[in-house]
Structure 1
Amino acid sequence: MSDEVYQAFQNILKHRRKQKNLVIDGYSDFLFINRNGNPQVAVNYEAVFRKLVDKYNSKHEEPLPKITPHVMRHTFCTRLANAGMNPKALQYVMGHSNITITLNRYTHASLETVKSELQRFVA
């Protein structure tokens, strides 16, 4: 995590109204909470993405596809892999117990990526 991101998160916590002293599976002091002071869950984020896509699609001719937090996770992983991140470091960042999951399920090669990689080996 960059220092800027860390400071932004600290700023959120500093200016937030008092929250419940809630402990879930040993975790507390949640960063992202709902109006009731409970931690945000996947369905909350999925609803936000769905509303954003619906709003965009209502105003544009070419619609966006279904975008979910999980799609964003795949995109994040793929872009880090395509940028040349060490696969073991990427596995750690993604929280995967097995490198096979990172490489086979979360990174997606494009035709451009393959062409670029082949060009590196053409003498």
Structure 2
Amino acid sequence: METYDFKNEIIDKNGNKINILDVYNFNKIKESYITSLKNNNYSQNTIKTYSSIIHKFTTYLKNQIAIYNEKEFIKYFNSYILYLKQVKNVSQNYIYLVTVVVKKFLEFNNIHFLDSITTPKRIKSPPNFLTQKEVKQLLDSITWDENSDSDFRIITKLRDKLIVTLLYSSGLRVSELINLSVDNVNFEGKQLSIVGKNNSRVILLDESTKQLIQKYLEKRTQKSNYLVVNKSGNPLTPRYVQLMIKKYGNESGIEKKITPHILRHSYATHLFEQGVNIKIIQQLLGHSNLSTTQIYSQDANN
């Protein structure tokens, strides 16, 4: 793709001003950027969010008559941010995310119109977490009767308890959980191999979790290499896992909002409470930056 310096207006050979929107095919370069995210193992949720942000912004640009230089591009970006604030009433953190995503998208395509734009501050708050007592309360709410319940109900409850156990005791992301294969489990070594969005890591399994995995695999009838599956033997969706955990959270009587990520937060916070070194926790969580891990220490210290 031919590059142009749009710091000032550019006149073509016919004496007409060149429109930035005629030079850059945003739909095409968006596809290229999204492909790069997939190749770099970004989670499905992240890719979906980035794609939506880029689509909404480029659609806003296309509704403008013409953009002839970098200064006008910045003007329209700022008007878009103002529109999000005043009309859409979005949060400060969403404004931060839009700015970061749009700048990364443009930079990936060697478009530097927004280099002078300062990224707004993000409002950081410590994540909510469950106490160890509440985690036990949540797990205890997932029950079945081996003598009277149907095989389908027993297998489903076994699977659900395994999901909650793994999300908490291994600090998994939902995307990592639903992509786990049976081959990721080393029963003899009591280890779980995880392929994360930033790196791969190995988590130690306690005896009770290992036995729960074995019991579920022995009882389920679906033939699949995925570790946790639906009744058809297909991998679960992130949305299904979220709704399932919300259901058990309501049934447990815990008044806090419970999500898969809250279980991950709880895992990290409890490790801090036990005095585990922050760099070890960083490795266990699969964080690429230590600063991401440090937010959990705020809960442990309060």
Gapped regions of structure 1 (runs ≥ 5): 21-28, 58-62, 115-123
Contact 1:74 1:107 in 2 (8 A): no
| Contact 2:222–2:231 (Cα < 8 Å) also in 1 | no
Structure of higher CA gyration radius: 2
Identity percentage of aligned residues: 30
Tell me the number of residue pairs that the alignment of Structure 1 and Structure 2 aligns: 98
1:119 is matched with none
Look up the match of 1:86.
277
Tell me what 1:109 maps to. Answer: 299
Which residue does the alignment assign to 1:66?
257
Q: Give the distance between the partners of 1:71 and 1:101, measured in 2 at CA.
A: 15
Alpha carbons of 1:38 and 1:50: their partners in 2 closer, same or farther (altered >3 Å)?
same
Q: What secondary structure does 2:298 align onto?
A: coil
1:14 aligned residue? 218
Compare relative contact order (CA 8 Å, sep 6+) and give the higher one, 1 or 2. 2
1:32 shift after superposition? 1.1
Whole-angstrom CA distance in 2 between matches of 1:54 and 1:4: 25
Deviation at 1:9, TM superposition (A): 1.1
**In the alignment, which residue of structure 2 is the partner of 1:34?**
230
- Please list every run of at least 4 consecutive aligned residues from structure 1 whose deviation after the TM superposition is greater than 3 angstroms: 53-57
> Post-superposition shift, 1:94?
0.8
The alpha-carbon distance between structure 1 residues 108 and 36, as it changes in their structure 2 partners (threshold 3 A), is: farther
Unaligned runs of 5+ in 2: 1-204
Task: Report the TM-score when normalising by structure 1.
Answer: 0.65
Report the Cα distance in structure 2 between the residues aligned to 1:31 and 1:71, rounded to whole angstroms: 22
- The alpha carbon displacement at 1:49 in A equals 2.3
- Per the alignment, in what secondary structure is the counterpart of residue 209 of structure 2? helix
SS where residue 109 of structure 1 aligns? Answer: helix
